[in-house]
């Protein structure tokens, strides 16, 4: 008689964790010209004139507007670059980031 031995196979769960996305948020201020905000949104976030104008107006009316979502690194880099573009032109234009729920 032949004994059968069973070897337990350890299953490794392929847990593909997707990175949490971060929002880039445009903050309204009283000094940055509307056209300048639109120009920065088009250049840094590759938006059309129409999209950029809508985002600018929403921030202007409500105080803030979500521009787009990216991985943490990309969101932070774009927010910094867009904020720096305003600073370089002498405007207090501000972009921040926050993690998505
Ligand atoms: N509130 C600014 C103005 O009236 C325009 C603006 C919109 C600035 C969105 C910053 C963000 N000139």
**How far does residue 101's CA lie from ligand 1's centre (Å)?**
27
pLDDT digits (tens, 9 = 90+) for 49-85: 999 999 999 999 999 999 999 999 999 999 999 999 9
Query: Within 6 Å (CB) of ligand 1, which residues are found?
Result: 26, 28-30, 32-34, 37, 56, 59-60, 93
What pLDDT, on a 0 to 100 scale, did the predictor assign at position 47? Answer: 98
Rounded average pLDDT over 15-37: 94
Supply the residue whose CA is at minimum distance from atom 5 of ligand 1. 34
Distance CA 29, CA 75 (A): 21
The CATH number assigned to the domain with range 31-99 reads 3.30.1390.10
Ligand 1 atom with the smallest distance to the CA of 26 is 11
Residue 86, pLDDT > 80, answer: yes
Question: Sorting pLDDT into bands at 50, 70 and 90, what band is 19?
Answer: confident
**How far does residue 33's CA lie from ligand 1's centre (Å)?**
6
Domain ranges within the chain, ordered by starting residue: 31-99
Residue 1, pLDDT > 60, answer: no
Q: Report how far apart, in Å, the C-alpha atoms of 51 and of each of 1, 63, 69, 77, 85 are.
A: 77, 17, 15, 21, 19
ipTM associated with this complex = 0.98
- Phi, psi values for residue 3, rounded to 5°: -80, 140
**How far does residue 30's CA lie from ligand 1's centre (Å)?**
6
**How far does residue 72's CA lie from ligand 1's centre (Å)?**
26
- Phi, psi values for residue 9, rounded to 5°: -90, 125
Q: Can you list the positions of beta strands (E) in 2-101? A: 21-27, 64-71, 94-99
Write the burial class of residue 29 (CB in 10 Å: 0-12 exposed, 13-18 middle, 19+ buried): middle
Whether the Cβ atoms of residue 70 and residue 22 lie closer than 8 Å to each other: yes
Residue 93, pLDDT > 70, answer: yes
Q: Which residues share a beta bridge with 68?
A: 24
Question: Sorting pLDDT into bands at 50, 70 and 90, what band is 7?
Answer: confident
């Amino acid at each position: 008689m032949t004994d059968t031995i069973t070897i337990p196979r350890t299953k490794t769960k392929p847990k593909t964790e997707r990175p949490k996305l971060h929002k880039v948020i445009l903050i309204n201020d009283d000094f940055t010209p509307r056209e300048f905000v639109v120009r920065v949104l088009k250049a840094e976030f590759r938006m059309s004139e129409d999209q950029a104008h809508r985002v600018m107006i929403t921030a202007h009316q409500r105080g803030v507007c979500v521009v787009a979502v990216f991985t943490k690194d990309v969101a932070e880099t774009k927010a910094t670059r867009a904020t720096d573009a305003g600073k370089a032109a002498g405007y207090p234009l501000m972009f921040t980031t926050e993690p998505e729920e």
